[in-house]
Amino acid sequence: MKERTERLKAIKAIIKENRVDSQEKLLQLLEDHGYSVTQATLSRDLKYLKVGKLSDGRSGYYYSIPSEEERRESERHYIQDFLRGYVSVDWNESVVVVRTFSGHSDSVALAIDNMGFEEVIGTISGRDNVVFIALKKGVSGDEFIRSLKVKVPEFEEE
Protein backbone atom coordinates (compact mmCIF):
# COMPACT_ATOMS: atom_id res chain seq x y z
CA MET A 1 0.00 0.00 0.00
CA LYS A 2 2.92 2.32 0.72
CA GLU A 3 4.16 1.94 -2.85
CA ARG A 4 0.74 2.98 -4.19
CA THR A 5 0.57 5.98 -1.86
CA GLU A 6 4.02 7.13 -2.97
CA ARG A 7 3.12 6.56 -6.63
CA LEU A 8 -0.06 8.63 -6.26
CA LYS A 9 1.98 11.46 -4.74
CA ALA A 10 4.41 11.21 -7.66
CA ILE A 11 1.58 11.33 -10.21
CA LYS A 12 0.16 14.46 -8.59
CA ALA A 13 3.58 16.15 -8.55
CA ILE A 14 4.32 15.21 -12.17
CA ILE A 15 0.97 16.54 -13.39
CA LYS A 16 1.37 19.78 -11.42
CA GLU A 17 4.94 20.35 -12.66
CA ASN A 18 4.56 19.26 -16.30
CA ARG A 19 2.14 19.71 -19.16
CA VAL A 20 1.14 16.08 -19.60
CA ASP A 21 -1.15 15.41 -22.54
CA SER A 22 -1.20 11.60 -22.74
CA GLN A 23 -0.97 8.51 -20.60
CA GLU A 24 2.06 7.43 -22.61
CA LYS A 25 3.89 10.61 -21.62
CA LEU A 26 2.81 10.18 -17.99
CA LEU A 27 3.98 6.55 -17.99
CA GLN A 28 7.38 7.70 -19.26
CA LEU A 29 7.64 10.44 -16.63
CA LEU A 30 6.69 7.93 -13.93
CA GLU A 31 9.36 5.56 -15.25
CA ASP A 32 11.88 8.44 -15.04
CA HIS A 33 10.88 8.81 -11.37
CA GLY A 34 11.41 5.09 -10.70
CA TYR A 35 7.82 3.85 -11.00
CA SER A 36 7.10 1.10 -13.51
CA VAL A 37 3.35 0.56 -13.88
CA THR A 38 0.98 -0.74 -16.51
CA GLN A 39 -1.41 1.48 -18.42
CA ALA A 40 -4.31 -0.21 -16.60
CA THR A 41 -2.83 0.64 -13.20
CA LEU A 42 -2.22 4.22 -14.30
CA SER A 43 -5.83 4.51 -15.49
CA ARG A 44 -7.06 3.34 -12.07
CA ASP A 45 -4.72 5.79 -10.33
CA LEU A 46 -5.94 8.68 -12.49
CA LYS A 47 -9.56 7.78 -11.73
CA TYR A 48 -8.80 7.52 -8.00
CA LEU A 49 -7.14 10.96 -8.06
CA LYS A 50 -10.07 12.34 -10.10
CA VAL A 51 -7.63 13.62 -12.71
CA GLY A 52 -9.33 15.22 -15.69
CA LYS A 53 -8.29 16.59 -19.04
CA LEU A 54 -8.63 20.30 -19.72
CA SER A 55 -8.51 22.08 -23.05
CA ASP A 56 -5.52 24.33 -23.58
CA GLY A 57 -7.73 26.59 -25.69
CA ARG A 58 -5.79 25.93 -28.86
CA SER A 59 -5.51 22.42 -30.12
CA GLY A 60 -5.01 20.01 -27.31
CA TYR A 61 -5.81 18.75 -23.86
CA TYR A 62 -3.70 18.17 -20.77
CA TYR A 63 -4.15 16.41 -17.44
CA SER A 64 -5.20 18.44 -14.43
CA ILE A 65 -5.66 17.65 -10.75
CA PRO A 66 -8.79 19.21 -9.24
CA SER A 67 -8.21 21.85 -6.59
CA GLU A 68 -9.04 21.04 -2.98
CA GLU A 69 -12.15 23.24 -3.21
CA GLU A 70 -13.32 21.44 -6.37
CA ARG A 71 -12.71 18.10 -4.67
CA ARG A 72 -14.69 19.13 -1.57
CA GLU A 73 -17.55 20.44 -3.70
CA SER A 74 -17.64 17.21 -5.70
CA GLU A 75 -17.64 15.15 -2.51
CA ARG A 76 -20.53 17.25 -1.14
CA HIS A 77 -22.55 16.37 -4.24
CA TYR A 78 -21.83 12.66 -3.81
CA ILE A 79 -22.79 12.84 -0.13
CA GLN A 80 -26.08 14.50 -1.06
CA ASP A 81 -26.74 11.85 -3.72
CA PHE A 82 -26.16 9.14 -1.12
CA LEU A 83 -28.39 10.81 1.48
CA ARG A 84 -31.17 11.46 -1.05
CA GLY A 85 -31.15 7.89 -2.29
CA TYR A 86 -30.58 5.48 0.57
CA VAL A 87 -33.40 3.93 2.60
CA SER A 88 -31.50 1.48 4.80
CA VAL A 89 -28.12 -0.21 5.14
CA ASP A 90 -27.45 -3.75 6.31
CA TRP A 91 -24.17 -5.66 6.38
CA ASN A 92 -22.30 -8.77 7.34
CA GLU A 93 -18.59 -9.49 7.45
CA SER A 94 -17.81 -8.84 3.78
CA VAL A 95 -20.81 -7.31 2.01
CA VAL A 96 -22.86 -4.19 2.65
CA VAL A 97 -26.35 -3.94 1.16
CA VAL A 98 -27.84 -0.50 0.66
CA ARG A 99 -31.56 -0.35 -0.06
CA THR A 100 -32.46 2.75 -2.05
CA PHE A 101 -35.54 4.60 -3.14
CA SER A 102 -36.77 3.43 -6.52
CA GLY A 103 -34.48 4.66 -9.27
CA HIS A 104 -31.64 5.74 -6.97
CA SER A 105 -29.40 2.67 -6.97
CA ASP A 106 -27.10 3.97 -9.74
CA SER A 107 -26.54 7.36 -8.10
CA VAL A 108 -25.94 5.79 -4.67
CA ALA A 109 -23.44 3.29 -6.13
CA LEU A 110 -21.67 6.11 -8.00
CA ALA A 111 -21.52 8.14 -4.79
CA ILE A 112 -19.94 5.24 -2.87
CA ASP A 113 -17.47 4.62 -5.71
CA ASN A 114 -16.40 8.27 -5.76
CA MET A 115 -16.18 9.06 -2.05
CA GLY A 116 -12.82 7.30 -1.80
CA PHE A 117 -13.56 4.55 0.69
CA GLU A 118 -10.34 2.56 1.15
CA GLU A 119 -12.41 -0.36 2.48
CA VAL A 120 -14.34 -0.87 -0.76
CA ILE A 121 -13.37 -3.11 -3.67
CA GLY A 122 -16.37 -1.99 -5.70
CA THR A 123 -20.11 -1.64 -5.94
CA ILE A 124 -22.83 -3.33 -7.94
CA SER A 125 -26.00 -1.39 -8.57
CA GLY A 126 -29.10 -3.52 -8.74
CA ARG A 127 -31.75 -2.89 -11.32
CA ASP A 128 -33.57 -0.22 -9.36
CA ASN A 129 -33.39 -0.12 -5.58
CA VAL A 130 -30.39 -1.97 -4.14
CA VAL A 131 -26.61 -1.53 -4.09
CA PHE A 132 -24.15 -4.24 -3.09
CA ILE A 133 -20.81 -3.05 -1.72
CA ALA A 134 -17.95 -5.57 -1.77
CA LEU A 135 -15.38 -4.95 0.94
CA LYS A 136 -11.67 -5.64 0.79
CA LYS A 137 -10.33 -8.78 2.42
CA GLY A 138 -10.09 -8.35 6.17
CA VAL A 139 -12.47 -5.36 6.30
CA SER A 140 -15.70 -5.91 8.19
CA GLY A 141 -19.06 -4.33 7.55
CA ASP A 142 -18.76 -2.64 10.95
CA GLU A 143 -15.50 -0.97 9.88
CA PHE A 144 -17.09 0.29 6.67
CA ILE A 145 -20.10 1.68 8.56
CA ARG A 146 -17.75 3.57 10.91
CA SER A 147 -15.95 5.03 7.89
CA LEU A 148 -19.29 5.92 6.26
CA LYS A 149 -20.34 7.80 9.40
CA VAL A 150 -17.10 9.80 9.30
CA LYS A 151 -17.55 10.78 5.64
CA VAL A 152 -21.32 11.25 5.91
CA PRO A 153 -22.07 12.53 9.43
CA GLU A 154 -25.77 12.85 8.55
CA PHE A 155 -25.98 9.10 7.86
CA GLU A 156 -28.33 7.32 10.23
CA GLU A 157 -28.67 3.57 10.47
CA GLU A 158 -32.24 2.49 9.89
**CATH code for the domain in which residue 17 is found:** 1.10.10.10
Q: Examine the domain organization and report whether 73 and 145 are in the same domain.
A: yes
What residue numbers bound the domain in which 38 lies? 2-64
Structural domain ending residue among the three candidates 10, 41, 64: 64
- The kind and range of the H/E element at 90 are strand 86-91
**Which among 42, 64, 86 is the end of a domain?**
64
Is 32 a domain residue?
Answer: yes
Q: What pLDDT sits at residue 75?
A: 85
| Last residue in a domain, options 16, 43, 64 | 64
- Cα separation, 152 vs 88, whole angstroms: 14
- Angstrom CA distances, 126 to 1, 91, 157, stand at 31, 16, 20
The tens digit of pLDDT for each residue in 109-126 reads 999 998 989 999 999 998
pLDDT over threshold 70, residue 30: yes
* 9 lies in some domain: yes
Q: Is 48 inside any structural domain? A: yes
Say yes or no: 77 and 127 in one domain.
Answer: yes
For residue 135, what pLDDT is reported? Answer: 94
| Per-residue pLDDT at 59 exceeds 80 | no
pLDDT at 158: 63
Asked, for residue 158, whether it belongs to a domain, the answer is no
Lowest mean pLDDT among 16-25, 42-51, 94-103: 42-51
Residue range 122-153, pLDDT digits in tens:
999 988 899 999 999 999 999 999 999 999 99
Regarding whether 46 and 25 lie in a shared domain, the answer is yes
User: Domain total for the chain?
Assistant: 2
CATH of the domain at 75: 3.30.1360.40
Residues 10, 14, 18, CA angle at the centre, nearest 5°? Answer: 175
